Amino acid sequence: MSDTRGPATVWTRTLFLWMVALAIALFGVLAPATWLPLLSLLATGLFIATAGPRATLRDARPLAWHAPVLLLGMLIVNGRVDWALALEISVRFMLTAMPIFWLHRLTAPTHLLTLFERVLPFRLRLILLFALRIWPLLLRDMRDILLVARLSGTWPARLRDVRPRHFVHAPGRIMMPLGVRAIRLSDDMARSLEARGLDQL
């Protein structure tokens, strides 16, 4: 998927992206009540069509981590879970986050820099690149952190073995290293760009 990235392909996909944006805007105007489910169907369909169902499932899996946080947040704030609201927030979240995976899968970072050359200022293009680049690195690190946690018994090897007691240790042993990692990755990557003189451009 990621290796067919000639300039022609990039421009075709850019055109495709704009067409999708136009279609979404039309839905919004013509049928305001149904735009959200239609939009989610459209985005998922596009993702599956371009990346394939297996890649979609694999890439979308980490996004599902927002669900327990959302439900727990509702329980703490409201004392109960509003399932309709939770579903709506979930769909909105997935819709916001999916394009990042999608863009990353379809377009190489250097091509993105070229692609948005005339649209975005250089610093904004770098920020966009950051967002796209950090996700896969963070996912890889998350796999490693989970492996260490599973070996140490902090987290079970299979999801079906997850018990409430695992959530007691998970914040410290999994979420904390992951959070630190996210900050460290951003910092290291910024330093790496600085070390190559990109801050001087």
Partner 1 sequence: MGDKALAEAQPLTAELTVPGELTLVAGPTGTGKTTLLSRALRDWRAAHPARWPGAVLLGQNPATQLVGETVEEEVAFALVAAQMPDAEIARRTARALATFGLDDRAKARTDALSMGWKCRTLLGALHALEPDALFLDEPYAQLDDTGRRRLDAAITEWLGQGRAVVVSAAEALETVGGLPSGRTRLLHAETGLRPEPDLVAGFCEKWPDHAPDTPTGSAVELLSFTAGYEDTSAVLRDIDLVLPPGSISVVSGANGCGKSTLLRAVAGDMPALSGTRRILGHDMAGAGNLPRETALVLQDPELHLTGRTVRGEIEVASAIPKPGAETCLRIFGLSQFAEQAALNLSHGQKQALVLACAVASMPRLLLLDEAFCGLDASAMASILSALRRIVHRTGLTVIAVTHDPQGPVPDFADRHLRMSNGKLIDV
CB nearer to partner 1: pick between 27 and 130 = 130
Where does 36-186 show beta strands of DSSP type E? none
69 HSE (CA, 13 A, CB side): 11
Residues 6 or more apart whose Cβ sits within 8 Å of residue 135: 100, 101, 104
Token digits of residue 130: 């950051």
CB nearer to partner 1: pick between 65 and 83 = 65
Rule CB under 8 A: choose which of 140, 162, 167, 168 binds partner 1: 140
**CA-to-CA separations, 140 to 62, 146, 178, in angstroms, rounded:** 11, 10, 11
Rule CB under 8 A: choose which of 19, 30, 87, 151 binds partner 1: 151
Residues 142, 106: contact at Cβ < 8 Å?
no
Radius of gyration (Cα) for the chain, nearest Å?
20
Biggest alpha carbon–alpha carbon distance for the chain: 55
Residue 48 interacting with partner 1 (CB under 8 A): no
Question: Interacting stretch for partner 1, rule CB under 8 A, among 11-19, 66-74, 91-99, 192-200?
Answer: 192-200
CB nearer to partner 1: pick between 36 and 182 = 182
Residues 198, 126: contact at Cβ < 8 Å?
yes
CB nearer to partner 1: pick between 42 and 100 = 100
- 62: which DSSP letter? G
Residue 114 interacting with partner 1 (CB under 8 A): yes
Residue 124 interacting with partner 1 (CB under 8 A): no
Question: Interacting stretch for partner 1, rule CB under 8 A, among 31-39, 62-70, 92-100, 185-193?
Answer: 185-193
Contact residues: partner 1, CB under 8 A: 2-3, 54, 108-110, 113-114, 117, 122, 126, 129, 133, 136-137, 140-141, 144-145, 147-148, 150-153, 157-158, 172-173, 176-177, 180-181, 184-185, 188-189, 191-193, 195-198, 200-201
